[in-house]
Structure 1
Amino acid sequence: MTAYPKTAALMRRGAEFLGSEHAILCGAMSWVSERNLVAAISNAGGFGVIACGAMTPDLLDAEIAGTKALTDKPFGVNLITMHPDLFDLIAVCGRHGVTHVVLAGGIPPKGSVEAIKEFGAKVIVFAPTLALAKKLLRSGGDALVIEGMEAGGHIGPVATGVLAQEFLPALAEEFVVFVAGGIGRGEAIAGFLEMGASGVQLGTRFACATESIAHPDFKKAFFRANARDAVASVQVDPRLPVIPVRALKNKGTEHFTAKQREVAALLDAGEVEMGDAQLQIERYWAGALRRAAIDGDIENGSLMAGQSVGMVTSEEPVAVIMDRLLAESEAALSRR
């Protein structure tokens, strides 16, 4: 028996797919979604996901082993498709018997989905358009995350509510679909489940959990912030295809504008290729996020946060956050 029968019934398909008690994934937040937070979320009945980000294969190997030492529950690994060592990272996941791999940051390169499936793992993909979602799901993706622009970190241009209305009626009957972006309360979870979602993904709501290794000053910045403080970065040069990033506005936001100009100048001078230029941008974000989340430099680092940040007001254990979300969802469904 579950304390949340109506929510559990609507989440059943997603929970069975993930192998977890609840179909609540934690979004992969670089530097923050590491062994401690990932294990805490899985132990609380959710599904933790390691953010590989810019890790080397050796670092990922150690992180997976460290997570396994803290939980015997299922968890996944998020890999960035443009990572130069992507296939080596996939091999590390295979050696550890990782059950779910999330491919993010672009269209999976040829052979990557097959390499993951070879060791029996499920593949979770992202897609910004319905046509691409159908293509990815029919060419090997086992589940889809639709993520609206309210999310923290890298974002697309369309709101979560609009994506849900477009994607869920077309896909939810046949495929497992998770909804993400700006979700901070259980009432929203209930609404997306009723629309046909198999589950949800939250990042910002868990970023300041007691088990999160994020710096105390990083957490305090979240507690002080409201939705309007989480702004999207702007693209300085149209030739440089920079994916916008949502973060709390600070000096680091200005630094990124300057970084784009610097990389665009290198492109002009023929000193870098477009792929290298994009990697420079990604490495900038990885470093800027570390400065804020780990070192506590909240002025110059990147405070990546979704618009649900205004609902993050105090440090609480993951299990308390999870129970509150489920109780809010259950109450909403019971009122229907």
Structure 2
Amino acid sequence: MNAFPKTSALMARGCEFLGTEYAIMCGAMSWVSERNLVSAISNGGGFGVIACGAMTPDLLDAEIAATKAMTDKPFGVNLITMHPDLPDLIAVCAGHDVGHVVLAGGIPPKGSVEAIKAAGAKVIVFAPTLALAKKLLRSGADALVIEGMEAGGHIGPVSTSVLAQEFLPALSEEHVVFVAGGIGRGEAMAGYLEMGASGVQLGTRFACATESIAHPDFKKAFFRANARDAVASVQVDARLPVIPVRALKNKGTEEFTAKQREVAGVLDREEIAMAEAQLQIEHYWAGALRRAVVDGDVENGSLMAGQSVGMVKEEEPAAEIIAKLMAESEAALGGRRAA
């Protein structure tokens, strides 16, 4: 017997697409979304996603194999579009029969969507504008994630609620659309499902799950934080196309500002090309995030977190987080329908 009939009915399309019990995806968080958390979320009925980040093809190959050893449920892999080894990473996913590949960090390079689909996998993309979303879906993408600026990590300029109102009426009838950014409780999830979303994606809510390998000090920083502590980075030089990153404010936030000035200076001297400058910025974030997540350096590392961080107060098993979200959503839907 289904304990969450109203929520499950609204999620049916997303569940069919993902092959899961619940259409709740975990956002890919570098150094956090690895075999332990990914398998726990999938085993709990959700959809875990491995964050490839800056991994080499060999490292991704080992991570997928290790995750498959911990769960027989569906999970996906998130690939960064600007990764220099993207074709090889796609081939690794194909070799493991990964069913869903998420392309993030920019417009998918020519041939990447086709290569993923040729291996039989579904392609999930992000789009900051409705026009680009329609173009990507016409070009072969199977599903879309719309992510508002409340999210942690790399963000766009528009809030989740505004994106949902713009995208869902235009796309949800014909396409699978997941909503992400600032979702910390099931009531919000229910609202987006009622608007036409096929499911949701959460990152911050899962970052401190019991199964997350994040350092205890990283988790404590989340437990102490509130929404206004999660701030977006500032762009120092208009020529350097830096995507803002939302993280808990600390010394590392200030160091990023200094890093931008350093890279801008190198550009001024024409010592590197713009693409290399962008890659240096991305490598900075990968290293800063590792310092916080793995080493526990919460002062100088990057504490990437969404504004929903204020709702993260303790360690909980991933399956319990999912069950709570479903119960909160069901209660909200029941209450509104009865009113």
Q: What are the within-5 Å matches in structure 2 for residues 1-336 of structure 1?
A: 1-336=1-336
What CA distance in whole angstroms lies between the structure 1 residues aligned with 2:210 and 2:271?
A: 45
Summarize deviations over 1:68-112 as a string: whole Å, max 9, x none. 000000000000000000000000000000000000000000000
* CA apart distance, 1:263: 0.5
Q: Distance in 2 between matches of 1:2 and 1:38?
A: 24
Classify the secondary structure of the residue corresponding to 1:267.
helix
SS in structure 1 at match of 2:163: helix
Matched position secondary structure for 2:178: strand
CA distance, structure 2, for counterparts of residue 143 and residue 319 of structure 1: 25
Distance 1:268 1:88 in 2: 33
Equivalent residue letter for 1:263? V
1:2 and 1:208 map into 2 onto residues whose CA distance is 28
- Calculate the TM-score normalised by the size of structure 1: 1.00
| Gap runs ≥5 in structure 2 | none
Q: Which amino acid aligns with 1:325?
A: L
Classify the secondary structure of the residue corresponding to 1:158: coil
Q: In structure 2, how many angstroms separate the alpha carbons of the residues matched to 1:39 and 1:160?
A: 27
Report the CA distance between 1:331 and its aligned residue: 0.1
> d(CA) in 1 for partners of 2:3 and 2:203?
24
Aligned length: 336
Q: What letter corresponds to residue 311 of structure 1 in structure 2? A: M
Q: Distance in 2 between matches of 1:73 and 1:55?
A: 23
1:271 and 1:60 map into 2 onto residues whose CA distance is 32
Q: Counterpart of 1:128 in 2: which secondary structure?
A: coil
Amino acid paired to 2:123? V
Query: What amino acid is aligned across from residue 137 of structure 1 in structure 2?
Result: L
| Structure 2 counterpart SS, 1:101 | strand
Aligned AA for 2:58?
D
1:175 and 1:277 mapped to 2: Cα distance? 36
Deviations 1:276-329 (A, max 9, x none): 000000000000000001100000000000000000000011111111100000
Measured after TM superposition, the shift of residue 203 of structure 1 is 0.1
Output one character per residue of 1:19-46: Cα deviation in whole Å (capped at 9) or x when no partner: 0000000000000000000000000000
What's the TM-score once normalised by structure 2's chain length? 0.99
Structure 2 CA distance, aligned partners of 1:154 and 1:319?
A: 26
Structure 1 unaligned runs (5+)?
none
Task: Report the CA distance between 1:151 and its aligned residue.
Answer: 0.1
User: Partner amino acid for 2:111?
Assistant: G
Distance 2:81 2:150 in 1: 22
Deviations 1:192-216 (A, max 9, x none): 0000000000000000000000000
CA distance in 2 between partners of 1:235 and 1:331 (Å):
42
Instruction: Tell me how far apart the structure 2 counterparts of residues 218 and 16 of structure 1 sit (CA, whole Å).
Output: 35
In 2, the alpha carbon distance for the partners of 1:273 and 1:185 equals 44
Q: Distance between the aligned counterparts of 2:47 and 2:22, measured in 1?
A: 8
- CA RMSD in angstroms comes to 0.3
CA-CA distance at 1:2 after TM superposition: 1.3
CA distance in 1, matches of 2:53, 2:156: 18
